Structure 1
Amino acid sequence: MRITSGKARGIILKSPKGDATRPATDAARQAVFSSISDFVSGANVLDLFAGTGSYGLEALSRGARSAVFVENSRQAAVCLKENVSAIKKSMGEIEARIVSADCFNLKPESFEEPFDLIFADAPYPLLQKKSDEIFALLLRFSSTETLVMLEAPAEFEPPETSAFEVLKRLGKNSKGKPSQLLMRRI
C-alpha cells in the first residue's frame, strides 16, 4: 500500500499485522480521489477510524491544508505515526495531528477549524452494530458544506434518519466488498 498521487506519491505506508485494521486499497483511494479532486486542495481533513491514515495522508499529498487522524488502536497508531513521519520526510512540514482516542468521545470544540472533508472507515462489524452512532458522529463534525466519505460494505445502506444524502457510491457491488459512499448533510 502506498500513496498514489501528489507530492508524496510512491511513499509506502505501514500497516499493523493481523486483520484488526483493514487499510483502504490503492485502487479504492484512487477512485475516491478522482471523484473528489476539486474538494481536496486547501481542505481541512478529518480521518476518523484512521488506521494507517491512508485517506488523510493521500489528501495531504494531494494538497489538503491539514489533517486530523483519530485512532484508538495502539498498534494502528504506531503505524500511523510512522506513516505521518514518512510523508513529512517526503513533503517537508505538513499540518498533521494524531488523536489517540475513541471517535465517539470526541467533541467538535476539540478542533479549531471546521472540516471540509471527512473520511470515515470504521471496522465493518462496528459500522453494522453502531451505524446510528457513527452517523451522529459524522453529523457532529460536519456542516452542509462538508463532503463526507464513508467506506462500508457494498450492501450497507445509511439509516433513514441519518440526515445525509448519498451523492455517489463507488467500489464493488458484491456483498461484503468495500464501497465508498460520498455524502453531504441534508
Structure 2
Amino acid sequence: MRIIAGSAKGTKLKMVPGKHVRPTVDRVKETLFNVIGPYFDEGWALDLFAGTGGLGLEALSRGIAHAVFIDQSRTSIETIKENIQLTHFEKQSEWYRQDARAAIKFLAKRAVKFNLIFLDPPYHENWLEPIVYQILQLDLLEDRGVLVLEHPTRVKIPESWSGLSSDRILTFGDTQLTIFTKEK
C-alpha cells in the first residue's frame, strides 16, 4: 500500500498487523480519487474508522489542508502515527483513539466541518446508517462536501439521505464505494 499521487507520491505505508483491518487497495483508492477530484485546494478531511490512515493521507498528499484520523484500535492509531511521520504530515494531522460516535460528538463540539469524509467501518457490523445520520444531524459536512462510504456490495445503501445526493457508485468485486455530495 502506498500514496498514489501528490506531494507524498510513492511513499509506502505501514500495514496494521493482524487481520482486523481491511485497507483500501491502491486500485480502488486511485479510482476513488479520480472520481472525487484528483487534487484538492485546502479544506478538511475526516478519515473515520481510519485503519492505516491511507485515505486521509492520500487526501493530504493531494492538497487537503488538514486531516483528522479516528479509530478505536490502539494498533491502528500507532500505525496511523507511523504513516503520518513517513509522509511528513504531522502538522496537518490529528488522530484520536476513540469510538466513532463519541468522536463525531467531540468534533461537533469543536464546530469542525469537513469537505471530505471517508467512512469505512468494519464490514461485519451495521455502522453505516447510524453514523451517516449522526454526521448529518451534527452538521459535520460542508455544503458541497463529499461523503464516501466503503461497504460490501451486499449492503444496500439508500440512494439519498436528507441533504445528500448520490453521485456515483463504484463496484470492485465485493467492495462498493458510494459517493454522496451534500446539497446546498
TM-score interval (norm. to shorter): 0.7 to 0.9
CA-atom RMSD in angstroms: 2.0
Specify the alignment match of 2:180 in structure 1: 183
Q: Distance in 1 between matches of 2:159 and 2:6?
A: 37
Under a length normalisation based on structure 2, what TM-score does the superposition of the two structures give? 0.87
Aligned residue number for residue 75 of structure 2 = 75
Q: Tell me the CA shift for residue 130 of structure 1.
A: 3.3
Q: Report the TM-score, using the length of structure 1 for normalisation.
A: 0.86
Structure-to-structure mapping, 1:166-181, within 5 angstroms: 166-172=166-172, 174=173, 177-181=174-178
Report how far residue 184 of structure 1 moved: 2.2
- Residue 135 in 1 paired to residue 132 in 2? yes
SS of the residue 1:18 aligns to: coil
Q: Does 1:109 align with 2:108?
A: yes
Q: What SS does structure 2 have at the residue aligned with 1:116?
A: strand
* Number of aligned residues: 178
C-alpha separation in 1, matches of 2:110 and 2:101: 15
Q: Note if contact 2:39-2:63 (Cα within 8 Å) is conserved in structure 1.
A: no
Deviation track 1:83-111 (CA, whole Å, cap 9, x = no partner) reads 001111xx6x6410001110111213344
1:3, CA displacement in angstroms? 0.4
Greater strand fraction, Structure 1 or Structure 2: 2
Residue identity matched to 2:9: R
Matched with 1:97 is: 94
Rounded to whole Å, the distance in 2 between the matches of 1:9 and 1:27 is 15
- In structure 2, runs of 5+ residues without a counterpart are none
Q: Is the 8 A contact 2:43 2:64 kept in 1?
A: yes
Any conservation in 1 of the 2:151–2:176 contact (CA below 8 Å)?
A: yes
